[in-house]
Amino acid sequence: MIWLVVPTTWEGRPGAGQWKDLQGIRLVLGRLGVAWREFRFDGGNVGELAAQIGSAADVAIWYYTFWPEAMEELKRRCPRARIVLRTVNAEAFQHWARAQKDWRRLRGLPRDVYGFFRLLGRDRRGCRAADALAGISPWDDDHYWARLAGAARRHSAPYFCPWPALRPDVCPRPWAVREFDLVCLAGTRDAIGRGHVAGFAALARRPEWTGRRLAASAGLLDAPPDVWPENVERLGRVAEPWELLCNAKVAAVLSPLGYGSKTTATDALAAGCHVLIHPRQHARLPSAERALAVPVDPASADDVRRAVACLAQPLARAAAELQREQMECALADWKRVLEA
């Protein structure tokens, strides 16, 4: 039996990265044909899971790294059980990217440094409790998790786009009739999300985009509205972006900050969109996505011209082909992780 352990406080809103990733894992388990159940973890009920597993040699896919002490308890009570830890971000690095770094304040630097090492210690403890790691980002796996867990227990199972299965009624539209030239799906309002907004706004102000239809969504979290140039259409909050992506030619993911999977980039490619991504993030994409995405610095005139040129023709590979390849890779990756 395989148990998918889902933290009730960390699944995320519909459309958010964790929510989409969990939808994908559920799809994979269903298509692998294995016996599996979902366990809703509330932070204190690991004993209920242990009672259900008992002495069986079950597998628990533990989503996210925030509860190493619960994983340790499960190992103590169910020594034959095997824990596969789903890693979503290089957490200590992600904290540093999000940190305010207001070091003029007395507690600014100590707070940021403490947070970094606290998360690093928690992640190391979680790695010790897990039998294997299933990483969402190959770059994070190589540069962060392999250093904490060792290469032998680290496996990559990158995010794939679940929307074709969740919304089979929505298909990528033919290139000539797509209504949006360039879209941005804004995320959180931390430094990473502000980077998306700033990058897209800088790109939108370039004269090369004059006469084009540009649009941006509001963030997933409650926050003051973003300030966009006048030529950007404000779409409000978009919980399910699949229909928008299937109707757009180019999607922009332009924050230089952040770790983990760029799920919007993966979704956009599956929808047949060109993807513009900051050069720093381009280097961290999985190889298949890196070959298709276009690195763009909004401050570079050459990069902007290359971005505008994407409007002239469809993505080099068909959306249906990419969707099929993403699913096939996900099935192979998770099968390898579960059998390791």
pLDDT digits (tens, 9 = 90+) for 202-214: 999 999 999 999 9
- When pLDDT is averaged across residues 175-190 and rounded to a whole number, the result is 88
Rg (CA), the chain: 21
- When pLDDT is averaged across residues 86-99 and rounded to a whole number, the result is 87
Task: Sheet with 154-156: list strands edge to edge.
Answer: 36-41, 2-7, 59-63, 82-87, 132-135, 154-156
Residue 282: helix, strand or coil by DSSP? helix
Q: Tell me what pLDDT residue 188 has.
A: 64
Domain 2-157 has CATH 3.40.50.2000: yes
- When pLDDT is averaged across residues 272-288 and rounded to a whole number, the result is 96
Residue among 250, 251, 134 at smallest CA distance from 186? 251
Q: Fold match between 2-157 and 167-322?
A: yes
Q: Tell me what pLDDT residue 113 has.
A: 86
Q: Picking from 128-142, 187-201, 320-334, which range would have the lowest pLDDT averaged per residue?
A: 187-201
pLDDT digits (tens, 9 = 90+) for 31-43: 999 999 999 999 9
Where are the alpha helices (H) located in the chain, listed in sequence order? 17-32, 46-53, 68-77, 91-98, 108-129, 138-140, 146-149, 163-166, 191-204, 242-245, 263-270, 279-282, 287-292, 301-309, 319-339
Tokens of 194: 């502000």
Domain positions in the chain are: 2-157, 167-322
Q: Let me know: does 335 contact 59? Beta carbons within 8 Å.
A: no
The fold of the 167-322 domain, in CATH, is Rossmann fold (3.40.50)
Q: Tell me what pLDDT residue 32 has.
A: 97
Q: Give Cα separations from 120 to 94, 110, 256, 308 (angstroms).
A: 11, 15, 22, 41
Q: Picking from 76-85, 178-187, 242-251, which range would have the lowest pLDDT averaged per residue?
A: 178-187
Q: Tell me what pLDDT residue 44 has.
A: 92
CA–CA gap between residue 51 and residue 339 (Å, rounded): 24
Residues 324-334 as b/e (b if ≥16 CB within 10 A, e otherwise) read eebbebbeebb
CA–CA gap between residue 323 and residue 67 (Å, rounded): 33
**Residues forming a β-bridge with 154:** 133
Residue among 176, 185, 273, 293 at smallest CA distance from 232? 185
